[in-house]
Amino acid sequence: MSVPPDRSREIYARTIIALAPDAEEIVFIGGWAHALHLARVASFHRPVMTTDIDVTLPVHLPPGERRSFLDCIADAGFVPDPFGGDGESMAFAHEAPDAAEVTLDLIAAFDDPRTPVPIAGQDGLVVHGYPSQRILLAHTMRITVDASFHPLLDPPRSIRVPTPGAYALVKGLSSRSRYENSRGPRRNVKYAKDIVYLLTMMNEPALATQVYTELAPLAAAYPEDYTAWRAWLTTVLRDTTMLADVADQYSEAAGRPRATVDPTLGIRDRLGAILRDSPRTAP
């Protein structure tokens, strides 16, 4: 049973409220971040909806006078998912029967994907390691989420999300990592959906302008990551099977069937424009 959009928004709002004690340290990433960016610029483009909630944590999160992060997660309605982790790192699913598909993924920076990372200062909290999270933690902006998102957010709450440029860069890198390290029938969905998030952001002129402005300094700060990003987008651009995977996810997100006449042409054109308009090489 899929989770209705209004219910997903409610759970996301409750998660924002529950994690407020750590709002200065954590970063809300994933699909919801791109939806918030689109809303921030009043875009008419439809965001790619998701039931997953993704949060990046620093590897050291001192408790201070606050409640433990695990207690805050429980306040949002999430419980450890015995089937979602990998034996060491933890996964969380919502405890409500009508929201069991909603997952909370906690991530920390680590070069080897899926490596368990204990969070110092939080006894018992072990999260998934994932590359490039350092970029998301270092390049953030604040977004105010209010009652226009969900009535629970009155008064409004301020959260940290990646800047548009950092989001676009890491989505490309995440797509490559998912393709290279994932197995099974869901691999094509996951790597392709990351490209769709990137394309959806870049379809909005106001966000695309911000991404292009931010990519040059990001390329200078992370030359190897930026080179890998361009190389991966070029790989997808030249591979008709990959383009078809992305087109399938793009059509599913838009709620319409994929075109039958050269269905990947639009995806190819969009990726080509991103590569043409972004810096060709890291400084």
Q: What is the tens place of the pLDDT at every residue in 5-17? A: 899 999 999 999 9
Question: Is the per-residue pLDDT at 188 higher than 90?
Answer: no
DSSP state of 257: P
What is the rounded distance in angstroms from the CA atom of residue 92 to the CA atom of residue 55?
Answer: 12
Query: For the chain, what is the mean pLDDT?
Result: 90
More confident residue, 168 or 253: 168
Question: Is the per-residue pLDDT at 261 higher than 90?
Answer: no
219 alpha-carbon distance from chain centroid: 20
pTM: 0.93
Predicted pLDDT of residue 23: 94
Predicted pLDDT of residue 1: 42
Residue 262 confidence class, pLDDT cut points 50, 70, 90? low
Q: What is the mean pLDDT of residues 156-166?
A: 98
**DSSP string spanning 88-143?**
SS--EEESSGGGTT-EEEEEEE-SSTT-EEE-BTSTT-EEEEETTHHHHHHSEEEE
Q: What is the mean pLDDT of residues 33-40?
A: 95
Q: What is the mean pLDDT of residues 110-129?
A: 89
Question: Is the per-residue pLDDT at 251 higher than 80?
Answer: yes
Q: State the helix-helix crossing angle for 187-203 and 265-277, rounded to 10 degrees.
A: 60
Q: What is the mean pLDDT of residues 216-235?
A: 96
What is the rounded distance in angstroms from the CA atom of residue 32 to the CA atom of residue 49?
Answer: 8
Question: Is the per-residue pLDDT at 99 higher than 50?
Answer: yes
More confident residue, 173 or 251: 173
Question: Is the per-residue pLDDT at 186 higher than 80?
Answer: no
Closest CA to 197 of 28, 72, 20, 37: 37
Q: What is the mean pLDDT of residues 120-126?
A: 93
Predicted pLDDT of residue 252: 81
